[in-house]
Amino acid sequence: MIRSMLFAPANRSDLIAKFERIPADAFVLDLEDGTPPDERGAARAGLPELYRAARKANPGASVMVRVNPVGSEDFEADCQALSAAGVDHAVLPKVESEDQVAQLHRHAPSIVAGIETPLGVLRALEIASAAGVMALYFGAEDLVAEMDGLRTEDNREVLYARSHVALAARARKVQALDLVTIAVRDAEQFDRDVKQGREIGYSGKMCIAPGQVALANAAYQPTDSQIAFARRVVAAAEAGARDGKGVISVDGRMIDTPLVRQAQSILATLRGPDA
């Protein structure tokens, strides 16, 4: 599962060496917004070497490439660059249909689909159902711009759309990755954004600065008390099933099937020796 997904410009090979020291679950080499249009050709030409270097720099992380949107003048060239580099995971921005995903899926087996336009939000369930989609991400900045809306610190203007994307992802059992916090030095804003996202159902977050990665990892990792309670719930459920008990309780709480599933989900996210 991806707790943190850090974007890096695809024209900045000098940044790759830093990946070794950044504990992101996924790195995205960005051919879209992160790379100026007049430098994209050179970035595509250097993508095979850059992709190999990124994977070598942090072997425990996934390395992805974000292409430009379907229909843009760069899309086809980006796809050819993916194939030449042997990229496994690609990120497609501004997705508005299952067909758009299919166009990229011919060049990359696994796709993170960006939902950041009004039509994309309304078709999120269709997009989450497309072959190859492993996750949806929600892009608040582009959506608000297309809506001619006003961006606020409490995100109230994107609550419906943000929730809809998370629902669509969960309904199709793919991951939901939350919006970018553009105030890169504001840890309090980042924490507020993460808290809202978790309450809605997001399980990971996009990051645009290395300092945001550790915050995202910590926020999306269960606490010690949550882990301990989840283990008690799962153990009690297993014991109840063996003893033929239809009703069980843990710490004075009645435990039903949804709570057992929540506990199992928490334990499934654990990493390392505590898993």
pLDDT of amino acid 107: 97
Q: Each residue of 45-95: pLDDT tens digit?
A: 999 999 999 999 999 999 999 999 999 999 999 999 999 999 999 999 999
CA distances from 12 to 29, 30, 83, 165 (A): 9, 10, 20, 31
pLDDT of amino acid 248: 82
Contact in structure between 54 and 6 (CB atoms under 8 Å): no
**Helix (H), strand (E) at residue 241:** helix 224-243
Domains belonging to the chain, first-starting first, are: 4-219 (3.20.20.60), 224-274 (no CATH)
Q: Mapping DSSP to helix (H, G, I), strand (E, B) and coil, where does residue 112 land?
A: strand
pLDDT of amino acid 162: 98
Q: Mapping DSSP to helix (H, G, I), strand (E, B) and coil, where does residue 255 land?
A: strand
- pLDDT beneath 70: ranges in the chain: 223, 226, 246-247, 262, 265, 269-275
Tokens of 76: 């086809």
- Residue 84's Cβ-side half-sphere holds a number of Cα atoms within 13 Å equal to 14
CA distances from 54 to 112, 153, 183, 197, 208 (A): 18, 34, 26, 29, 17
**Helix (H), strand (E) at residue 159:** helix 159-171
d(CA 89, CA 107): 10
**Helix (H), strand (E) at residue 33:** none
d(CA 114, CA 110): 13
247 residue type, one letter: V
Residue whose token pair is 């994307």: 165
H-state helical runs in 109-155: 118-122, 124-128, 140-147
Tokens of 9: 């410009």
Residue whose token pair is 């600065």: 209
Contact in structure between 152 and 196 (CB atoms under 8 Å): no
d(CA 145, CA 64): 26
Q: Each residue of 141-158: pLDDT tens digit?
A: 999 999 999 999 999 999
Q: Give the contacts of 123 (CB within 8 A, at least 6 positions apart).
A: 96, 97, 98
198 residue type, one letter: R
Tokens of 217: 């990892």
